Amino acid sequence: MTPTKDERLQRRVIGTIVIVVIALLQGTSQYLATHDRARLAMHLVLVALVMPPLMTGLSVGFRYAARHHWRLVPTLSAGALFAAVFGMMGMTLVWRLAHVVPAFHPRDPWPISRVLVYGSVWGEIALGLWAFAFVFPLALDQARLRSLEAEKLRTATELARLRAHLEPHFLLNTLNAIAGLVVEEPREARKLLAALGDLLRDALHDDTEMQTIDEQVAWLQRYAQILEARHAGHLAFRWDIDEDARGEMVPRLLLQPLVENAVKHGALKREGGGEVTVRASNDGAKIICSIEDNGPGMPDTEIRQGAFGLHAVRRRLELRYASAASLRLESTSAGTRSVVELPLAHIART
């Protein structure tokens, strides 16, 4: 998240403009107060000849202090000393120039002691202008970047925490589904344990947070195979995946809690057996994924307390997409549908 070369150049240009404008305003105010053209000319020469090398020296010193990790007090002290000495040298140069060029000779000539004092004060004022024009915007940029980095870290940490809860939750439920087959149908249980091994390889050893819909559906189909075997004759799955949606990216394991919820609270409560339909489509602006069951429906479509899977899905959408993605539940006596809408990957990045 380091600023680009163009951003650094833009910051320097803006800082230079700020310093020039303030220096001109200062000279104008002095002239309006004294109407001394010679003093105005001296001020402009001081700004034109002394200000650029002074600003360059302060910038070089600041970068040196930053590279060598100087603390605040030594950095400020060194900058103040440099600005005072450079200001006295510059003012002395202009003072001598005023004795050579009549146009620069003020009506009220200054002694050298006053010149040195004025030069040191001018140098400190230049230091303040430099800090305001260059250091202050840099500090704001760094604070903004640190804030963004901290927010990304918080988001990544919470996503990791959600996955740490979600994956064992899924694993325990899947093991419970297989446990019922160990005594009754050991051959089928061994077959499903192999399928579980495939699921675990993908779920627990893939560190990427995103995957294509095609990959997630293939994973869900293996998961559905275990559930269909566990509830043979009482559960069936249907898949309706649009071809133009298969390559789109979605968060890993996003739909698994919705499938689990549709099975547990919907399809398995249907007399004579239930059905779960998984759909995914691409309407050109967003991806729409829905998990629908033909169970008895829900009296309240608000996500209830304790429904960890649904809360996890909603929270993951909030963390990754903010308000650009949503999860809603639609329920009637004919069944319940969970609908996830999220932006296309190229839209989400803009």
Residue 10 sits in the same domain as residue 132: yes
Instruction: Give me the mean pLDDT over the 12-20 stretch.
Output: 77
- Whether residue 337 sits in one domain with residue 262: yes
pLDDT-based confidence at 14, cuts 50/70/90? confident
Select the more confidently predicted residue: 176 or 269.
269
In this predicted structure, what is the pLDDT of residue 39?
72
In the chain, the number of structural domains is 2
The domain that holds 198 is classified in CATH as 3.30.565.10
Query: What confidence tens digit (pLDDT) does each residue in 106-146 have?
Result: 666 678 888 889 889 888 888 888 888 888 877 777 777 77
* For residue 160, pLDDT beyond 80: no
Q: Compute the average pLDDT of residues 235-244.
A: 95
Same domain, 291 and 195: yes
Residues 145 and 191 in one domain: no
Q: Are residues 13 and 138 in the same domain?
A: yes
Mean pLDDT of the 46-71 span: 85
Tell whether 240 and 120 lie within a shared domain.
no
- Mean local confidence (pLDDT), 233-253: 92
Percent of the chain with pLDDT over 70: 80
Looking at the structure, tell me whether residues 131 and 239 fall in a common domain.
no
Residue 308 confidence (pLDDT):
64
Confidence of residue 12 (pLDDT cuts 50, 70, 90): confident
Q: Using an 8 Å Cβ cutoff, are 251 and 214 in contact?
A: no
Verify that 142 and 233 share a domain, yes or no: no
89 Cβ contact list (under 8 Å, min separation 6): 50, 119
* Residue numbers of the domain that contains 280: 180-348
Q: Is residue 158 part of a domain?
A: no
In this predicted structure, the answer to whether residue 243 has a pLDDT above a threshold of 80 is: yes
- Determine, yes or no, domain membership for 172: no
Q: Within this chain, do residues 217 and 288 fall inside the same structural domain, yes or no?
A: yes
Whether 135 and 187 map to the same domain: the answer is no
pLDDT at 98 over 70: yes
Give residue 267's pLDDT: 93
Same domain, 30 and 123: yes
Q: Which residue has the higher pLDDT, 142 or 87?
A: 87
Whether 333 is covered by a domain: the verdict is yes
Confidence band, pLDDT 50/70/90 cuts, at residue 350: very low
Q: Which one of 127, 149, 171 terminates a domain?
A: 149
Residues 13 and 130 in one domain: yes
pLDDT at 235: 93
- Mean of pLDDT values over 37-51: 77
Q: Is the pLDDT of residue 233 over 90?
A: no
